[in-house]
Amino acid sequence: MTAEEWLAIKNHDESYNGKFYYGLRTTGIVCKPSCTARACQARNVVIFPSIEDALRDGYRPCRKCRPDQPGFQGAKPELAQRARKYLTEHAMEPFRLEQIAEALYVNKSYLARTYHEVVGQTLLETHSAIRIGRAKELLTHMELSVTQVSFQCGFSSSSYFARVFQKVTGVNPTEWRTAYLKKLEQAERVD
Ligand SMILES: [Zn+2]
């Protein structure tokens, strides 16, 4: 173990997650550098370059920091991540907090609070951003009208679509498309 690795473990330094894993000879458990589950002494620490190496040597993944689950960072970030995944998969459906909370087996106000705390955005803002991201992509297809784009992104009306689009991007869909075309023309001229 290097001094740097030991320092990372002692400070539970998240920025080292994924760079190495550490096992404890005394418990046979392997953790991420950021884990706060156990205090340890340097002489009991074994460093592994990957989680696979640790598992091959018979170490068991810690239940608190879950080094065997790459996306897992703790209960709150994990919930936020699941919520984001749900929103991405259900972007076409109208936004209903109750439905999301039910699907994730959590209380709806806890979900809303936790998501905002972790992501710095509300669930509805993420939902809109995902839809608008798709809309931008579709708007580059000139054969689709703005109304068609709005329906294909799950909006119930094109005026509501225009409002949300403006809020997220600062311009309305038609303006966005015009600006996109201009950029395209300029790029072609440069070529
Ligand atoms: Zn751990």
Q: What is the pLDDT of residues 77-131, one digit of tens each?
A: 888 989 999 999 999 999 999 999 999 888 899 899 989 988 999 999 999 999 9
d(CA 190, CA 68): 49
Q: How much is the pLDDT for 189?
A: 83
Query: Which residue matches tokens 């109750």?
Result: 98
Q: How far is the CA of 56 from the centre of ligand 1 (A)?
A: 17
Q: How far is the CA of 120 from the centre of ligand 1 (A)?
A: 26
Q: How far is the CA of 111 from the centre of ligand 1 (A)?
A: 25
Q: How much is the pLDDT for 77?
A: 82
Q: How far is the CA of 41 from the centre of ligand 1 (A)?
A: 15
Q: How far is the CA of 115 from the centre of ligand 1 (A)?
A: 23
Q: How much is the pLDDT for 71?
A: 64
- List CB-based neighbours of ion ligand 1 within 5 Å: 31, 35, 37, 62, 64-65
Rg from Cα positions in the chain: 23
Choose which CATH entry (1.10.600.10, 1.10.10.60, 1.10.10.410, 3.40.50.300) describes domain 126-190. 1.10.10.60
> CA 178, 181, 183: angle at the middle one, nearest 5?
110
**End-to-end Cα spacing for the chain:** 53
> CA 191, 172, 133: angle at the middle one, nearest 5?
70
Q: How far is the CA of 76 from the centre of ligand 1 (A)?
A: 16
Q: How far is the CA of 35 from the centre of ligand 1 (A)?
A: 4
Q: How far is the CA of 71 from the centre of ligand 1 (A)?
A: 14
Q: How far is the CA of 63 from the centre of ligand 1 (A)?
A: 6
- Cα-based distances in Å from 104 to 13, 86, 87: 29, 9, 11
The pTM score is 0.61
| Contact between residue 40 and residue 61 where contact means Cβ atoms under 8 Å apart | no
Counting as low any pLDDT under 70, the low residues of the chain are: 70-74, 191
Domain formed by 3-61, architecture: 3-Layer(aba) Sandwich (3.40)
